[in-house]
Structure 1
Amino acid sequence: MATDRPSVLIAEDEPDLANLYTSRLEERYDVRTAYDGTEALEAIDGDIDVVLLDRRMPGLSGDLVLETIRERNLDCRVAMVTAIEPDFDIVEMGFDDYLVKPVSKPELIEVIDQLLLRSTYDEQLQEFFALASKKVLLDRQKTEAERKSSEEYARLEDRLAVLRVHLDETVADLLETDDSKQLCRDLTRESIADE
């Protein structure tokens, strides 16, 4: 069934919670539900835009589902929605965002909308936002001493710094082109016309 609405897969082994998420989201998105990791992998196809993935599921865990999604180069954004408090192991994981349960309807919608927007970005910008999300999460969860003693956190900060330099250079290059100057003029004219 083709639809113009974004497609969201909920991979959650607690049926009541999976059904609650579905009821919260089905007015806005085309929602599919998988109740374990194997079902999740079977349900993911080229039509899925966002996956809400529980980390702790019997059989095939959410971590393994995430690894498989990335190994298959599936073009979808993934948010871990889990009761597992984040630790430094998340630095190497290929998710785009991380929510700790319980999660409200506004939080679910906000993260899905952010991930849908990020999917329009190039890979470098997607990586930057995924890493920035991990840094914010670890900054909230870990003490300064814990962060300073973590090699994973140091690698995260280094990669973010490199990406920030590349992105700054890309933006500077874009601002130098005649096309971007024309786009800015057009946007300015359009916003003035709207007032």
Structure 2
Amino acid sequence: MDKKKLLIVDDQNGIRILLMEVFSSEGYDTYQAANGKLALELVLNESPDLVLLDMKIPGMDGLEILKRIKEINTDIKVIMMTAYGELDMIKEATDLGALMHFTKPFDIDEMRVAVNTQLKKNLLEKRT
């Protein structure tokens, strides 16, 4: 069985490291990007199953990255992470195809459950 691929996009190194550790230990292939350009290269080259995407990234913001991910592959699931109550952006992200969002500081167990649920749901869909 193929390992699921998870891409973590956040400009904060500490958050990327934390999420990489958590999801590597869950058995996922994890990739990380600190900016939009690298994130999109990884989306093209690795086709991740799910992207954890920070809303506020210098250079190219989360909404722009989300739009481009969906242009590359509409099947890639995206969960947004946000540090502020950016409700208008969250609504726009949902309209663009994000599944849900977590507000920082998020509960890592809730994040883990959400990712596992999304990726296992993916497996079930592929079996039928």
**Which band: TM-score by shorter chain?**
0.7 to 0.9
Aligned to 2:10: 12
Q: CA–CA distance in 1 between the matches of 2:125 and 2:42?
A: 25
For the pair shown, the structure with the greater C-alpha radius of gyration is 1
Aligned to 2:59: 59
Which is bigger in relative contact order (C-alpha 8 A, separation at least 6)? 2
TM-score (norm 1): 0.56
Q: CA–CA distance in 2 between the matches of 1:85 and 1:100?
A: 8
CA RMSD of aligned residues (A): 2.1
Q: Please give the secondary structure, in 2, of the residue aligned with 1:26.
A: helix
Q: CA–CA distance in 1 between the matches of 2:65 and 2:55?
A: 9
Alignment of 1:33-112 (within 5 A): 33-45=32-44, 47-89=47-89, 90=91, 91-112=94-115
Gaps of 5+ in 1: 123-195
Q: CA–CA distance in 1 between the matches of 2:87 and 2:14?
A: 27
Q: Report the AA paired with residue 40 of structure 2.
A: L
Query: Share of identical aligned residues, percent?
Result: 28
Change (3 A) 1:101 1:76: same
Gaps of 5+ in 2: none
* Cα-to-partner distance string for 1:10-50 (whole Å, 9 max, x where unaligned): 00001111111111221111110001111111111453111
Q: CA–CA distance in 2 between the matches of 1:72 and 1:22?
A: 23
Q: Compute the displacement of 1:87 (Å).
A: 1.6
Q: Report the AA paired with residue 55 of structure 1.
A: M
Q: Report the AA paired with residue 59 of structure 2.
A: G
Q: CA–CA distance in 2 between the matches of 1:49 and 1:118?
A: 11
More strand by share: 2
* Cα-to-partner distance string for 1:149-170 (whole Å, 9 max, x where unaligned): xxxxxxxxxxxxxxxxxxxxxx
TM-score (norm 2): 0.82
Q: CA–CA distance in 1 between the matches of 2:19 and 2:66?
A: 19
Alignment of 1:79-158 (within 5 A): 79-89=79-89, 90=91, 91-119=94-122, 120-121=124-125
Whether the aligned pair in 1 keeps the contact of 2:36 and 2:60 (CA below 8 Å) is yes
Moved over 6 A (4+): none
- What is the aligned residue count? 120
